[in-house]
Amino acid sequence: MIYAKMKASVFINFSEVMAAMFKVTDSPEPDPDSVDPDRVDPEESDPPKKLLVWLTQALLLLGFIIGCGCILALLLGFLAAALLSLYFVIEKLWLFATAEAPVSDMGWVWLGILSVGFFVGMFFLLLSRAQAEYAKVVGKTENDSDMSDDLDEEDVDSNMGEEFEIYGVQIYEHPYERFKNRLKESGKESELREIAYDLNDYAESTAALAVLGDDEFIGIPVKADAQIFVSDDQPYEFNILAARIMLRRSESLTLFWVITNWSWEDENFIKLICDHRHILEDRVAFDEELPQYVEVIREIPEKDDALESIAKILNEEEVSRLREALTMNELEGVFEWWADKTTEEQNNLRKSPLVGCQNDRLLSITERFEMDNPRSLLIGGEAGVGKKTIAQAVLCHLQDQGWAVMESTAQDLISGTMFVGQMEERWLKILSKLQEPKTVLYIPDFAGLEHAGKHMQNPVGLLDRLNIEVNRNRITVLGALEDTDMERMLRNNASLRKYYDIEKVTAPAAEEAAEILRNHSQQVQGETGIQTGDDVIKMIVELSSQFMPFQAALGGSFDLHAAMVRKKQKNKEKDTIVDLSREDAIEELCRFSGLPKVLVDEKEILDTDDVENFFKDHLIGQEEAIQCMVDRITLLKAGLTDSTRPLGVFFFAGPTGTGKTESAKVLAQYLFGSKERLLRIDMSELQSYDDLSRLFGSNRGLEGHHQRSLLDGIRNQPFSVVLLDEFEKAHPNVWDLFLQAFDDARMTDANGHTVCLKHVVFILTSNVGAREASQGSFGFKSAGGPENPYEIALKETFRPEFLNRIDQIVTFRPFSRAEQRALLEMELKRVLSRRGLKDRPWAVEWEESAIDLLLSHGLTADLGARPLRRAVERFALTPIAKEMLVHDNPQEDQFLFVRGEYGKIVVDFVDPDAAEQEAAEAELTEVPRMSLDSEADRAPRLQVPYIAMRGSGRLEEVMVLADKVELLEQRLESEEWATSRQSDLKSMEVAGFWEDPQRLPVLARTELRDRIDNGTSTARSLLDRLSGNAETSRDHYPQGLIQRLAQQIYLLDHAVEVLEKDLPQDAYLRIQPVQRNKESAAEQIEWCSRLRKMIVEWAEMRNMHLEELSHDSSGNWLVAVTGYGSWLFLNPLDGLHELEQPEAHHKDRKIHARISVASQPLGLPPAVREDRIRRATTLLDESARADEVIQRYRLDPEPKLVNLQNGWRFAQPEDALNGNFDLVASWASTRHPSESR
């Protein structure tokens, strides 16, 4: 049933309806004003009497309950006694049967039987009396209620009178007249209410209901809630009479409520409602409830059936208006009705300053629509010329002439039509509205109709349907679209010229645009109190023309001016007048474009040194790339770039991991304010036609059109840097697609929309030529040299017409050692800024050994610096995190000391307050005791070698190390040091340097000098951490940390000596057993093994790199050693080393081994292992010394180490054999005379 689908409330029992209707008083009381003040209810006039009645009724009810309880208790008592007596009889009979009871007890059995009979008889006697009394009461009630059924027709006619009908219900005349007269006499409705409640007396109940709904009571309200309604559970007769009463007397009932809640499919109910339409309409008019009808019916699937049913009550005009309202409701999200626009909105459209300049054009367009057969029109023009403003002005004029204007977009017209047939159904409804006289459809994005509604199963789209109706002059359309879209649509569908008139709007000249903006600013001033001077208006037009070429100067000027006004309004006080300034225009343009102010403001001077420093702060090395970008920015500032081309097209060529992508990001950050302005395309993914969607997007009819393309990104943000990564890996046909972009600064997407590229910087990257470059050498100056392998490879790969569109080819070279370290420091700085370390006050100190280890893992020949970040994450962060978790209570003067050891990163937690003095002194017990009271004993122990080996962390040791660091810094800041550095750098700039074999010593010196600089900085940083300030100074410092700092200073001193004396840096070392007195081979092998262990431990402690070339079972060992001037430390070991064993066999009392040391030449070409061994052996043989003992060792008894070459003696040879032979040698010469000779 249709009405059931429209119900909005729940039915209740009819008796509850009546109780709610008449729960007030006897007399009808619509409101206090309508009641007769002289009319008084007797019962209500005597409250004490009414209270007495209530108390009497309560006492009678209580007595009835008590009497019923006594009778019930008596019945239960008789029944229980009968059951007990029966049990007694049965028990005695059982005992007689089993001969367990004497015969004399038989009398008790007869007595029990008599008792059972008595109690059962009394139970049924009482029960029968109760039934008889109940039958009297019920019989009387049934006789009264069935009176009408028992009487024959003659009795009815004589007692009830004639019958008459009220909406299909038979009413008897006599009770009706009797009740009516009684109500007139008493004026009380309470009696009729009680009779109406008696549902068993049909004649009197219906008569009472009829009287309560008589004509004379119309308008006298009853206190009934409109939501309380007739129930389906009640008899039909009672429901319709109750509905009659509510229609006439319930002020809350309206036509909408009745239709949506009552079962009005019955003819009597329909007639009842129709007869009372005038009463319901007086309460609420149909038009006021029309939106409610729409809301209810729109949710019903069978809307036509619902309207057909409801037409039984509503007239034809109302049903027609309801149908129209439903249609308008369905199209509410499809169209914007201009009739709904406020007067202010329409006046703003009419007052546009552009309209005043286009009066002739507006008049011409309007005349076309006023013809007998108005022509549809398309208005075209580039973005920002004001075509939509002109179209809206035309529509305002048409609306004044009585036209209905409907505005919609292509997306709105098809929204929600995802299933087959929905589009067709939607179109028919739209068409019915558009075909009405003097109706025009305005589509501001007419080009969007081209693909709207098309899909694989239906090639006919919305534009095709629209064109058919336009061609037949059934509808009138006004559309706006850009020139490029119009050209494409006309090219694809030439018949559009036949369907539509075409009006093109051209961009106004700069003077005209300024005049239009001036008129607009005057309107803005009147509305906001913000005024704009003529000089500012002129500047706004100039800036929009220069920096917003993707739209006409007029549109750009309006956008820029509106943005300036919005910003000014935020800080403007009420009722004040403020001026817009040129600084406001420049600031807003910089915010929009991201360009730095110095490039926008002609009054600011560009300092190229500042620009260069910006790039050098963010990039490491790559001087050619930095200079290229600085030069381009200089041209931009001077305004000498070609305004018809992109801002720049550069080809970055070089091996991977050299900073090409990072350079593009830094350029985006400088030019446009953020690295997010970089749009990156991986050209290796463009291998087929389908892949082009990444560049140009996809036609909307193709799958995947939702994918964001490069041109989409540029359209959203015209100021961008576009990185075409690995350009050579794209399909060759893709290369040609960029010819137009690089030459004319425009590209067309898959939908035919042209994108402006005039403020885009294109950067192409390539690895072409990297293999050829790795086989030779090339250097800093490679931009113009014909020998540059990258330029040669690019010319071999790309056609000349492509390379001619490249502004500059920039070569990226591999990083030097200094640049590698700078890259690592930048990465470490980034890591240390993370939350876990930034939120803790710890300082992190990096030892040179840790730096070298990270560089060895993070920089490779094939990947460059690309693995650097992963190396830091993998090798450094994990041990740092572990140490942080162990010591998660940081203090200001605590820090983490990071060092490299055995090929991994070791992190030490350093607390300068830790008490280590006692442990340090315990370790010094093996050293011959000396008095520290005299300066003679104190001086040797305050030498750097001794502190590095045996330092205890005393304050005077730290002061000595501080002095040493200061001396190092003075040497590095000296004029000689700077002159030497500049000399090496200048030699690198000489043509042919990188092909000259003599470059290798220069590069080695440069790298060692860089290591010295960085090592000194690290030592100073660590010393400052330890020293703190006056408030945090202490007398004792961590022993291990002081020893490592002393070792760092010791290595730096020797490295400086290597540079100043131009000594060899790296070395070859060989250990051989020497038999001089028929010593046993086992002892010789063991001694060689001990010396080899001494060299290995020394290399690990000094952060030297050992590369084993050969090793055999007889004790021979050959290694290549590189590091901090390793030759200077190892060369004193060149010679025979003798081990004294006084208690051994006389043949083995002196065991000998030869250590040979030779300098390792620089720049040796790569060779196989055998060739390298042969080369090292030759050098070692050539530099071999005579067979003389240079050092003699005795471990037990009376340990000693004697250096026969330099004439010193040391009492702890284990120190030297444990890897500190260099420290022992340096310190022994300064020791007390009692321990040297």
Residue after which a domain boundary falls, among 453, 477, 506: 506
- Taking alpha carbons only, the member of 1022, 793, 321, 407 closest to residue 310 is 321
Burial pattern 1017-1046, b for ≥16 Cβ within 10 A else e, equals ebbeebbebbbeeeeeeeebbbbebbbbbb
What does the pLDDT read at residue 705? 47
- The enclosing H or E element of 909 equals strand 904-910
Same-domain status, 497 and 573: no
Cβ contacts of 286 within 8 Å, gap of 6 or more: 255, 314, 318
Count of alpha carbons within 13 Å of 377, Cβ hemisphere only?
27
Domain assignment present for residue 439? The answer is yes
Same-domain status, 1074 and 1153: yes
- Taking alpha carbons only, the member of 665, 657, 667, 663 closest to residue 636 is 667
Same-domain status, 1023 and 1093: no
Torsion region of 342: left, alpha or beta (phi above 0 gives left; psi -120 to 50 gives alpha): beta
What does the pLDDT read at residue 777? 46
Q: Are 520 and 512 in contact (CB under 8 A)?
A: no
What mean pLDDT is reported for the chain?
A: 78
Same-domain status, 807 and 819: no
This prediction has a pTM of 0.62
Q: Are 655 and 719 in contact (CB under 8 A)?
A: no
Residue type, 896: L
Pick the more confident residue, 785 or 757: 757
What does the pLDDT read at residue 103? 56
Answer yes or no: is pLDDT of 506 > 80. yes
Residue after which a domain boundary falls, among 506, 539, 561: 506
Q: Greatest CA separation found in the chain?
A: 163
Domain assignment present for residue 191? The answer is no
Domain assignment present for residue 1149? The answer is yes
Query: Mean pLDDT lowest for which of 35-39, 56-60, 491-495, 1164-1168?
Result: 35-39
Q: Which residue in the block uniquely carries the two structure tokens 């000194």?
A: 1016
Answer yes or no: is pLDDT of 832 > 80. no
- Taking alpha carbons only, the member of 624, 636, 993, 619 closest to residue 791 is 624
For the stretch 711-760, pLDDT in tens is 888 988 899 999 999 999 998 888 999 999 999 998 988 877 888 999 99
Tell me the average pLDDT across 771-800: 65
Q: Say if residue 1197 is preceded by a cis peptide, omega within 30 of 0.
A: yes
- Give me the helix-helix angle, 848-858 and 999-1027, nearest 10°: 130
Same-domain status, 529 and 630: no
Domain assignment present for residue 488? The answer is yes
Domain assignment present for residue 33? The answer is no
For residue 883, what is the domain's CATH number?
A: 1.10.8.60
Apex 62 CA angle, 60 and 67, nearest 5: 95
Same-domain status, 1196 and 1147: yes
Domain assignment present for residue 292? The answer is yes
What does the pLDDT read at residue 109? 64
For residue 660, what is the domain's CATH number?
A: 3.40.50.300
Same-domain status, 1051 and 1078: no
What does the pLDDT read at residue 351? 67
Domain assignment present for residue 999? The answer is yes
Same-domain status, 1108 and 1225: yes
Domain range for 451 = 336-506
Same-domain status, 345 and 476: yes
Considering 328-332, 863-867, 1068-1072, the range whose residues carry the highest mean pLDDT is 1068-1072
Domain assignment present for residue 317? The answer is yes
Strand pairing class (476-481; 376-380): parallel
For the record, the structure tokens of 655 come out as 């091996």
Cβ contacts of 565 within 8 Å, gap of 6 or more: 524, 528, 530, 580
Same-domain status, 577 and 438: no
Query: Mean pLDDT lowest for which of 409-413, 602-606, 624-628, 891-895?
Result: 891-895
- Backbone φ and ψ of 820, nearest 5°: -60, -45
Q: Are 516 and 357 in contact (CB under 8 A)?
A: yes
- The enclosing H or E element of 1101 equals helix 1081-1101
What does the pLDDT read at residue 761? 96
Residue after which a domain boundary falls, among 145, 163, 182: 145
For the stretch 44-92, pLDDT in tens is 445 565 676 677 767 767 777 887 777 777 777 777 777 777 777 777 6
Same-domain status, 667 and 740: yes
Q: Are 1230 and 943 in contact (CB under 8 A)?
A: yes
Q: Which residue in the block uniquely carries the two structure tokens 């009408």?
A: 148
Q: Which residue in the block uniquely carries the two structure tokens 């109780």?
A: 19
Tell me the average pLDDT across 118-141: 61
d(CA 1167, CA 1018): 36
* CA distances to 691, 893, 1035 from 890, in Å: 54, 9, 22
Apex 559 CA angle, 557 and 560, nearest 5: 65
Q: Are 952 and 917 in contact (CB under 8 A)?
A: yes
What does the pLDDT read at residue 25? 35
What does the pLDDT read at residue 1152? 92
Same-domain status, 824 and 778: no
For the stretch 387-439, pLDDT in tens is 888 888 888 888 888 888 888 888 777 776 665 566 777 778 788 888 888 88
d(CA 985, CA 978): 11
Query: Mean pLDDT lowest for which of 282-286, 288-292, 844-848, 1013-1017?
Result: 844-848
What does the pLDDT read at residue 378? 92
Could you tell me the pLDDT band of residue 634, with boundaries at 50, 70 and 90? very high
Percentage of the chain lying above the pLDDT 70 cut: 77
Considering 312-326, 395-409, 624-638, 953-967, the range whose residues carry the highest mean pLDDT is 624-638
For the stretch 1170-1199, pLDDT in tens is 888 989 999 998 887 767 889 999 998 889
**Count of structural domains, the chain:** 8
* CA distances to 485, 557, 560, 845 from 553, in Å: 20, 6, 10, 57
